[in-house]
Structure 1
Amino acid sequence: MKCGKKVVLFTLFAMNLVDQPAPEVSIEQGTLSGKISTDGSFFEYIGIPYASTNSTTRFKAPLPPPKWEGVYKAVDEMYQCPQHPVGLPIEVVGTEDCLKVNVYVPARAQGPLPVMVYIHGGAYVLGNGGKMVIGPDFLVKHNVILVSFNYRLGVLGFLCLHTEEAPGNAGLKDQVAALRWVKKNIAAFGGDPDNVTIFGTSAGAASVSLLVASESTDGLFKRAIMHSGSSLASWAISNDPISVASNILTLLGYDTKDPKEIYEIFSRLAVRDIVLATTHSPIPQLLTNYQLPLPCVEKHIPGVESVLTDLPYKLMTRNPKNISLMFSSTDKEGLFFINVDTKETLESKNKQTVFGDDLVFKTKDEENENDREIKKYYFNGAPISERNIMNLSDLYTHSYFEMPVIFEAEIMAKNIEAPVYSYYFTYSGGRNYVKSSTKYKNVEGACHGDDLFYTFQGTILPFRVNKDDQIIVDWLTKMLTNFAKYGDPSPKGEFPIKWLPHTKEQLNFLTIGDTLEMTSMRNPDIYHTWKRIYDKYRRSEAKL
Structure 2
Amino acid sequence: MPPLLVALYVLALASFALATAPELPKVGPVSILADNDLDPSTNKYSFLLLSTKLAYKDARNACTQLNETLLSFSNDTDFRNTAKLLKYRTEPRHKSGLYWFNGIPSNNSDSHVCQAFSIDGPKLLIDVACKIRLPTLCTNSPNTSAILHPNPEYQIEIPTKQGPIRGFRDVLSFEFRGIPYAQPPIGKLRFAPPNPVRYTKVAGNRTAYDATWFRSVCPQLQAGAVTGWYIDEDCLYLNVYTPALGNNRYRLPVLVWFHGGRYMEGAGSDVIYYGGNLVSRGNIIVVTINYRQDAFLMLCYLLQSQNLTLGILGFFEDEKHISRNAAPGNLALRDQLAALHWVKENIASFGGDPKKVTIAGESSGGTSVRSLLITKNASGLYRGAISESDPLDLGFNTPSISGLLTQTIMHLVNCTNLSCARTAPVLALLQAQSEAISTISKQRRDVDRFGAFKPSIDGNLIKEDWAKAVESGRFNRVPIVYTTTKDEALDFVAPNSPNLIPVENLTSSVAEFLDANRTNIILSSKFYSRSPNTTADPDAVRNELGVIGTDYLFLCPTQYFVTKMADRTPVYEGQFERGIGPLLASNVCNNRACHGGDMAYVFAPFVLAQQGLISPSPDDFIMARGIGDRWTTFVTTLKPTPRGYKEWPKVTKNKPYVLLLDVNVTVSVGAGRTKVCKFLTEKVGYDFKYYS
Q: Tell me, yes or no, whether TM beats 0.5.
A: yes
Letter in 2 for 1:310: E
Which range is displaced more, 455-464 or 175-184? Answer: 455-464
| Partner residue, 2:657 | 508
Aligned to 1:66: 198
RMSD between superposed Cα atoms in Å: 3.6
d(CA) in 2 for partners of 1:537, 1:337: 18
Look up the match of 2:213: 76
Question: What's the counterpart of residue 49 of structure 1?
Answer: 180
Give the 3-state SS of the residue equivalent to 2:164 in structure 1. strand
Residue 388 to residue 246, structure 1, CA distance change in 2 (3 Å):
farther
Given residue 147 of structure 1, which amino acid in structure 2 is its aligned partner?
V
Aligned to 1:307: 461
1:485 is displaced (CA, Å) by 0.6
3-state secondary structure, aligned to 2:598: helix
3-state SS of 1:391 partner: helix
Q: Does the 8 Å CA contact 2:518/2:684 hold for their aligned counterparts?
A: no
Deviation (angstroms), 1:24: 2.5
Q: Is the 8 A contact 1:85 1:93 kept in 2?
A: no
Stretch deviating more after TM superposition (212-221 or 496-505): 496-505
| 1:161 Cα deviation after fit | 1.6
Relative to structure 1, the CA distance from residue 127 to residue 273 in structure 2 (aligned partners, 3 Å threshold; closer, same or farther) is farther
Match of residue 316 from structure 2: 159
User: Which residue matches 2:406?
Assistant: 245
8 Å CA contact 1:248–1:291 kept in 2: the answer is no
Aligned with 1:289 (options 449, 454, 468): 449
Q: 2:232 maps to which residue?
A: 95
Q: Aligned pair 1:526/2:659, yes or no?
A: no
Structure 1 CA distance for aligned equivalents of residues 236 and 328 of structure 2? 19
Aligned residue-pair number: 498
Amino acid at match of 1:313: A
Given the alignment of the two structures, is residue 18 of structure 1 paired with residue 151 of structure 2, yes or no? yes
Counterpart of 2:553, as a letter, is Y
**SS at 1:117 equivalent:** strand
Following superposition, the deviation at residue 270 of structure 1 comes to 3.7
Q: CA-to-partner distance for each residue in 1:238-293, whole Å, 9 max, x for gaps?
A: 6711233356568xxx288xxx73745532224465457668999xx996437732
**Equivalence for 1:317:** 471
Q: Distance in 2 between matches of 1:214 and 1:375?
A: 38
Q: 1:238 to 1:457 in 2, by over 3 A?
A: farther
CA distance 1:500–1:60, change in 2 (3 Å): same
Give the structure 1 partner of residue 488 of structure 2.
333
Q: How does 1:455-466 map to 2 (within 5 A)?
A: 455-458=602-605, 461-463=608-610, 466=617
Match of 1:485 in 2: 636
CA distance in 1, matches of 2:533, 2:199: 57
* Secondary structure of the corresponding residue to residue 314 of structure 2: helix
After superposition, the C-alpha distances for 1:353-388 in whole angstroms (9 at most, x for unaligned) are 4666xxxxxxxxxx6443311233475345999761
The alpha-carbon distance between structure 1 residues 495 and 241, as it changes in their structure 2 partners (threshold 3 A), is farther
Gap change, CA 1:171 and 1:133, over 3 Å in 2? same
| Structure 1 residues 246 and 387, CA gap change in structure 2 (3 angstroms) | farther
Q: Which residue, out of 551, 571, 575, partners 1:424? A: 575
Contact 1:330 1:446 in 2 (8 A): yes
Q: Look up the match of 1:149.
A: 289
Matched, 1:350 2:530: no
| In structure 2, distance between residues paired with 1:343 and 1:23 | 49
User: Does the aligned pair in 2 maintain the 1:354–1:371 contact within 8 Å?
Assistant: no
Aligned residue number for residue 366 of structure 2: 205
Alignment correspondent of 1:182 = 343
1:405 is matched by which residue type in structure 2?
A: T
> What is the CA–CA distance in structure 1 between the aligned matches of 2:466 and 2:154, rounded to whole Å?
44
3-state SS of the aligned residue for 2:523?
helix
| Deviation sequence 1:157-213 (CA, Å, 0-9, x none) | 112222323321011100000001101111111101111001000000010011011
SS of the aligned residue for 1:84 comes to coil
Question: For the Cα contact (< 8 Å) 1:19–1:36, is it kept in 2?
Answer: no
Alignment of 1:116-131 (within 5 A): 116-131=255-270
Give the Cα–Cα distance (whole angstroms) in 1 for the partners of residues 192 and 348 of structure 2: 29
- Amino acid paired to 1:34: G
Contact 2:215–2:237 (Cα < 8 Å) also in 1: no
Contact in 2 for aligned 1:247/1:291 (Cα 8 Å): no
- In the alignment, the residues of structure 2 paired with residue 453 and residue 500 of structure 1 have an alpha-carbon distance, to the nearest angstrom, of 24
SS at the partner of 1:48? strand
TM-score between the two structures when normalised by the length of structure 1:
0.81
Q: CA separation of 1:485/1:226 partners in 2, compared to 1, >3 Å: closer, same or farther?
A: same
Alpha carbons of structure 1 residues 433 and 290: separation in structure 2 relative to 1, 3 Å: closer
- Deviation, structure 1 residue 332: 0.5
Task: Tell me which of 623, 627, 636 is aligned to 1:472.
Answer: 623
| Structure 1 residues 541 and 333, CA gap change in structure 2 (3 angstroms) | closer
Whether contact under 8 Å (1:59, 1:168) holds in the other structure is: yes
Contact 2:633/2:641 (CA < 8 Å) preserved in 1? Answer: yes
Answering whether residue 614 of structure 2 is matched by residue 454 of structure 1, we say no
Kept in 2, the 8 Å contact 1:200–1:225? The answer is yes
Q: CA deviation at 1:408?
A: 2.3
One-letter amino acid of the structure 1 residue matched with residue 198 of structure 2: P
Q: 1:137 aligns with which of 247, 251, 276?
A: 276
The one-letter code of the counterpart of 1:520 is V
Aligned amino acid, residue 402 of structure 1 = L
Moved more, 503-512 or 236-245: 236-245
Report the secondary structure of 1:396's partner residue: helix
Q: Which of 241, 249, 257 is residue 104 of structure 1 equivalent to?
A: 241
C-alpha distance in structure 2 between counterparts of 1:47 and 1:458, whole Å: 20
Q: Contact between 1:334 and 1:448, CA under 8 Å: does it hold in 2?
A: yes
SS of residue matched to 2:566: helix
Would the aligned equivalents of 2:483 and 2:575 in 1 still touch at CA under 8 Å?
yes
Summarize the Cα distance change of 1:148–1:538 in structure 2 as closer, same or farther, 3 Å threshold.
closer
The alignment status of 1:173 with 2:334, answered yes or no, reads: yes
Which residue of structure 1 aligns with residue 134 of structure 2? none
How far the C-alpha of 1:477 sits from its partner, in A, is 0.3
- 1:397 corresponds, among 521, 543, 550, to 550
Change (3 A) 1:343 1:294: same
1:328 to partner: Cα distance: 0.2
Of structures 1 and 2, the one scoring higher in RCO (CA 8 A, sep 6+) is 1
CA-CA distance at 1:321 after TM superposition? 1.8
